[in-house]
A and B are shown apart, each in its own frame.
Chain A
Amino acid sequence: MKESLGTTGLLLNEPLLWEKGKKGRCGFSLPRRDVEPCSLDEEFMGEGPDFPDLSELDVVRHYTRLAQWNFGVDTGMYPLGSCTMKYSPKTNEKQASLPGFTGAHPLLPSGLSQGALNMLFEFEQYLNEITGMYATTLQPAAGAHGELTGMLIIHAFHKKQGSKRSKIIVPDTAHGTNPASISLCGFRPVPVTSNEQGILSVQAVSEIMDQDTAGIMVTNPNTLGLFEENIQNIAEIVHAKGGLVYCDGANMNAVMGMVKMGDIGIDLMQLNLHKTFSTPHGGGGPGSGPVSVAKHLEPFLPVPRVIEENGAYILAQDYPDSIGKISAFHGAFGVVIKAYSYIRRMGPENLKKASQLAVLNANYIKEMLKGTLHLPYDRPCMHECVFSDKHQAAQKIATLDMAKRLMDYGFHPPTTYFPLVVPGAIMVEPTETESKEDIDQFIAAFKAIANEAGENPDLLHHAPKSCKVKRLDEVTAARKPCLAG
């Protein structure tokens, strides 16, 4: 194995913000006062918040030190399954920080915001093309917000038809956000079990699909990294009983230019721009979760819609069947700029190539590690593969121990203990932006760790040893929560 990436380094300790500074300092250049002071009625005056006073350098060092305790895609491989931690191109950041975009007020008259509206309009067309759908809204602020929007559209569709349905079918492999989005919308999730191949069977769905079921919510490719091969037949069954088929498109990175969801029976789906379209994850957002729909669901999309009229773009409000508004303004516009830039830089061939290489990387890892780790579904995968800790159980080594040990080797661990259908799951999604050398090094690290599990299991039990902190006491954190200082 090549020399491990993980090494020691000098990390500086840094206290909490309010343990620093001195009253009277300031890290902010206050603008010139060019008007007279004017006092506010005492009745409304507060004391002002108790913030620490810090100099600019105090603030700069504070956050620079904190940043150094973090690991990002720019630091190293971050194969968090289901999260698509691909490289976020730097030019995207540059475009999103153009003053014409950052400074734009959301309520500007449309005549003064043509560039933004033009981009939103074009971007919706691009997503329509990639998904094979008819229309798209960019208003949802994240993937789960898109799911909620989708459920609201399903609800509005049935209401318009005069039918009241109470259930949505959701497979056991679903993201936790799926059942939560379903119930937030007043529906009851009805679980359906995937078959021994890890996918949905036509029969399982037909047994529970009925006239009280509003639709089905399928992640495709699913969270085992497998393509739902029976999707067209399943869609037929759901449609025959008047239901709609929702696709959680969080895993679209596997099939861009290979599969158009609109062509295979999907009625509506969300995309996660922070996954498939390379916008950075920001330590937990902001993301963006556009929803694309087939023609029969267009009337229900959130308002306003961007439309083209006489060569200009305007915001149209008049859609009486619309579900209304899902964000205050136009959604995460700043994120959309980055995804738009990505699609323009990639073009159609490279988008398809990205999906192919994402699938190549995942299958390569699956093949290279399947002797080392237990592979519960030994079939060709899409963009991610799911192992388990079954082989290491005899050595009393769990997924958690291997994940923590990977840190010492300089890798972010994969997603662990998800999907729930695989006990001790290790879900690896390398993405297409990782090179063969980096993937080989990741594979070698995992193999080395599996060896250590036999020879020196304590190394794993006590991992990580090279991070800023050791394993943390999460139980006490939850029992006696300390959420503010």
Chain B
Amino acid sequence: MIYLPHTHEDIFSMLQVLGVDNLDDLFSTVPEDCRFNGHLNLPEALSEWELNDHMSTLSNTMAVSPEYKVFLGAGSYEHFIPASVSYLLGRSEFVTSYTPYQPEMSQGTLQAIYEYQTLAARLLGMEVATASHYDGATALAEALLMAVRITKRKKVAISSLIHPLYRRVVQTYFEPAGYEVVELPYLNTGVTDDSGLDDMDDLAAVAIQSPNFFGCIENLQVLGQKTHDKKALFVASFTEALAYGLLKNPGSQGADIVGGEGQSLGINSSFGGPALGMLASSKKHMRSLPGRLVGKTKDLDGKTGFVLTLATREQHIRREKATSNICTNNSLCALAAAMYMASLGGTGIRKLAQLNHDKAEYLKKELKKAGFTITFDRPTFNEFVVEFPSGFEANHKHLLEKKIVAGLCLAPYYPELANHYLLCVTETRSKDDMDALVREVKS
């Protein structure tokens, strides 16, 4: 086996040093009745080229661009990734190292993550961003747990226009510890209804996603103000990080903590993972942040260098009193995001975000022209809700055969929105793709 370097001679001479006769004897401390003496029932080993064949067969069944025109967003977005980013990300010094516990040998990872923290903080308009979390949903859950710790209150209010799957993850994290999650309904304009907040007391946090699950842009400033009037922390979430190339960022609108998804920033959809949980806060709350942080410092000669820092918040030091149990995070995904943001630059991200916005507006306009209702007239970023005639479900299935995925059916998530679909357009969908979609849904 090419991954196992030992020759018979190696094994023999090493066993001799240990004074045992065979490999099985190395397991003398495993009691006889704990041993498995059978043969693992797994498929026999494949050669490398047999594996290629097998995996191609599996991957070829997947409906992906360019063969399929997929108008799905809802937390995972198809954006173009430059070859330079994929190439650099494959550097094995980044890929095959681990958490930089030994900073002298890990300055590459450390500087790169420090730069990621900086770019992420600038994108979100916050002072401090962590080295990464698993995904947007877990970053949001951790942001809310952080608010519970800071305020010592046990109830949070979250918008029903936060991604439905994120809300389920928050529920999973909150339930056993006995914390309460209250959902804020939405208005028929497609934004969060905050009127219920007036009667809620003792809130640790109010969480709002913008652009929200319907793609609509929330007025974070007003919601933030209202949250602060209630003496609660304002937590902003997002699924489409690219939006902040164009829109006001959460930090400039009063967010205390931000937790969302950075997959758009140079990370493939990859069936939903690995992704990039982005978590940021004001400096005031920095010591309550969960997860790894990289800081700048000096070495013995006064030369600038980087280290993991504020470790006294973390599980390996604080154990059960840690701010989180997180250890391995999604460092390489953060690195991809940093490379992507560096490639775009300030000028590029502005142009790209504008283009995403404009393309979605084009599709919206054409669907309207074709007689469909755009449910919410609130400004949106790159996705929006459209109402198709009843019975469209059959048409949606029919379109799949024509290799068009005409958005996400909202009814399973919002039962009141039967026949409503969430459509997403990024820079990877051409005008021709959109025209074809409109033609097909009309027919």
Contacts and interface: CB of A to CB of B under 8 A. Distances in A.
A and B held together in a complex: yes
Contacts of A107: 72, 74-76, 408
A330 B109 contact: no
B41 A348 contact: yes
A93 interface: yes
Contacts of B338: 17
Interface string A256-283: 1111100110000000101000101111
Interface in B95-136: 95-109, 111-115, 117-119, 121-123, 127-129, 131-132, 134-136
A448 to B, nearest CB: 19
A14 B110 CA distance: 13
A141 interface: yes
A323 to B, nearest CB: 6
A98 B55 contact: yes
Contact of A477 (B75, B271, B296, B320): B296
A4 interface: no
Interface stretch (B193-201, B227-235, B343-351, B368-376): B343-351
Interface in B37-80: 39-46, 48, 51-52, 54-65, 68, 70, 72, 74-76, 78, 80
Contacts of A97: 86
A483 B64 contact: no
A208 interface: no
B248 interface: yes
Contact of A350 (B4, B269, B303, B317): B4
Contact of B14 (A142, A327, A364): A364
B415 interface: no
Nearest to A436: B10
Interface in A297-346: 302, 323-335, 337, 341, 343-346
Contacts of B245: 48-49
A332 B274 contact: yes
A102 B80 CA distance: 12
Interface in A90-105: 91, 93-105
Interface string B253-292: 0000000010000001111111100000000001000001
A105 B1 CA distance: 35
A244 interface: no
Nearest to A330: B272
B274 A335 contact: yes
Contact of B345 (A26, A74, A344, A483): A26
B172 to A, nearest CB: 4
A44 B379 contact: yes
B349 A49 contact: yes
B430 A481 contact: no
B335 interface: yes
A296 B42 CA distance: 24
Contact of A232 (B33, B51, B324, B329): B33
B177 interface: yes
Contacts of A327: 134-135, 137-138, 169, 272-273
B246 interface: yes
A244 to B, nearest CB: 14
Given A74-B92, A330-B271, A112 B62 contact: yes
B178 A469 contact: no
A386 interface: no
Nearest to A30: B351
B82 interface: yes
Contacts of A54: 342-343, 345
A99 B81 CA distance: 12
A188 to B, nearest CB: 8
A34 B309 CA distance: 47
Interface stretch (A284-292, A389-397, A451-459): A284-292
B313 to A, nearest CB: 10
Nearest to A435: B5
A295 interface: no
A257 B42 CA distance: 11
Contact of A351 (B42, B295, B379): B42
A232 B324 CA distance: 31
A115 B57 contact: yes
A286 B4 contact: no
B176 A155 contact: yes
Interface in A397-426: 403-404, 407, 412-413, 415, 418
Nearest to A481: B295
Contacts of A470: 104, 299-301, 303
A213 interface: no
Contacts of A435: 5-6, 10
A229 B169 contact: no
B358 A66 contact: no
B176 A186 contact: yes
Contact of A180 (B42, B121, B322): B322
Contacts of B332: 280, 282-286
B165 A329 contact: yes
Contacts of B115: 16-17, 485
Contact of A367 (B17, B128, B134): B17
B331 interface: yes
Given A327-B137, A328-B75, A281 B97 contact: yes
B300 A283 contact: no
7 contacts: A49-B123, A72-B95, A78-B96, A107-B75, A181-B325, A348-B40, A412-B102
Leading 8 A-B pairs by shortest Cβ distance:
A329-B272, A347-B45, A106-B272, A100-B59, A282-B332, A72-B96, A284-B331, A286-B274
Given A31-B80, A51-B341, A71-B97, 17 more contacts: A26-B345, A31-B428, A34-B432, A68-B93, A70-B109, A75-B92, A80-B98, A99-B64, A176-B318, A263-B34, A281-B99, A282-B330, A327-B272, A348-B39, A404-B102, A481-B293, A484-B114
